[in-house]
Structure 1
Amino acid sequence: MNETDVGAQLTVLAVDDEKPALDELAFLLRAEESIAAVHPASDATTALRILRSTEVDAVFLDINMPGLDGLELAGILSNFATPPPVVFVTAHDDRAVSAFDLGAVDYLLKPLREERLSQAVQRIVDLAGRNKTTAPAAVAPSDEVIPVELGGVTTLVQRSSVEWVEADGDYARLHTPGRSHLVRIPISTLESRWADAGFLRVHRSYLVSLALVTGIRTVGSGLVVSLRAHGDQPAVELPVSRRHTRELKDRLVRAPKQSWSAR
């Protein structure tokens, strides 16, 4: 971490019902220079008791626990007046959709890798910094980062780099310049999460960044939307369903800086 990060001095809560896993998580968190204190808890009840008496900057939370599980605890935390950021730490990769629906900052898979934990901590540091420096009236959404796990390698994909999203069953394929990334998040979830960031559903299978739309045109009996080309790559054209046509046109008309045409 850089020097500006070291001064953050976060207080975090670590929750896991398995003692070896909790001890390892706490040990790795304490090794992070930006973390000043780690409060361990072996169940949700203890975690809530700590939260009532201690102000924490983030919660690192296991999912599968007896009693209240991690997702249920995160749901309770989301109702706090100032919800703490939550990072899920779990051995199961099939709960990411539910985790991100609850607003999780990150989703780490066991066994923990130090570099991935450091990335999650850095995101907490960045989030804490934005909360201190951003005026309450600010409405610009932060640039969300989506962790993509493939073959044990994690790629962090910034939302601002995503041009369009393609539905693939319960998954979504994020299309960035020259690449695509498959994530276990339904397109409907991204539609609601990214609406304020300028993404619009144009078809049951497609979600696009309005900032990249260069035109809409008629093809046969339907419409297609064109996205900005990159270098020698051809422009992308995606179908627009009838039910989404009016909203697409209305959104483009309301965007004075958006250059587009309907042919």
Structure 2
Amino acid sequence: MLRVLAVDDEMPLLEELLYLLRSDPRIRSAEGASDATGALRRITVALEAGPDGADGIDVVFLDIHMAGLTGLDIARLLAGFARPPLIVFVTAHEGFAVQAFDLKAVDYVLKPVRPERLAEAVRRACAQLGQSGEVPAAPEGVPAAAAPSVPPAVPVPVPVHAAVPAPPRQAAEVTVAERAPEQIAVELGGVTRFVAIADIAYVEAQGDYARLHTDEGSHLVRIPLSTLEERWAARGFVRIHRRHLVALARIDELRLDAGTTSVRVGSAELQVSRRHARELRDLLMRHATG
């Protein structure tokens, strides 16, 4: 079984990659690093421990475009060692494939990462290390779905709530998202799910992505927070900070402490920026009085 390190400076993409890797029964452990410095520090520990040591790493799943050193730079550094970990590049750019394979990369996986394509990269790494690349059969009594074969994603557009009726279109052009305006499509591990907007307590900005927080957990969507702010204003969502959008009805407490304002939403305490504090207090007062 493989011990792997995933490296990507976009945290949402790193989390998704780690989720897919940890779902594969051929992976013993999967760690993450969000920059080249952290990756090199962890790889150095692995090299000192040796491939058979407790801190060893078998494969590094490596992004190419990162701040500071690129993934290609890291691969060149590792090439100077006698027994470096294998490299699988995971990137949104097709143009570096020749350089990657010159550096003896095991595979070159393009983003967005498809589960079946990542599974093939794991198989190739296993084969190069002399391990079985076959996915272990599910134990007796366990459904086959427990194996890491994840159904391919069904592309579903994010719901768009138009204020003005759109011109009539052919039936084939009407999307699933438009037939379910009270929901938003999210993907996890190649599976598309629908989350009711009414179940979302608050939204957190993560770069070009947004993380939707519900009572049951969180979901990542590739939509900027500013877009959701505009779309969901009529649904009672208000901006309280550059990083947070909150459902007004889900705010349990408003706290004022030494000139700072925060709100409690379930178990989460979120800061309110000064520019939004007065407007939020007014909205909460109007909401409380009906």
Q: Which category of TM-score, normalised to the shorter sequence, fits these structures? A: 0.3 to 0.5
Return the index of the structure with the highest Cα Rg: 2
Q: TM-score, normalised by structure 1?
A: 0.46
Q: TM-score, normalized by length of structure 2?
A: 0.41
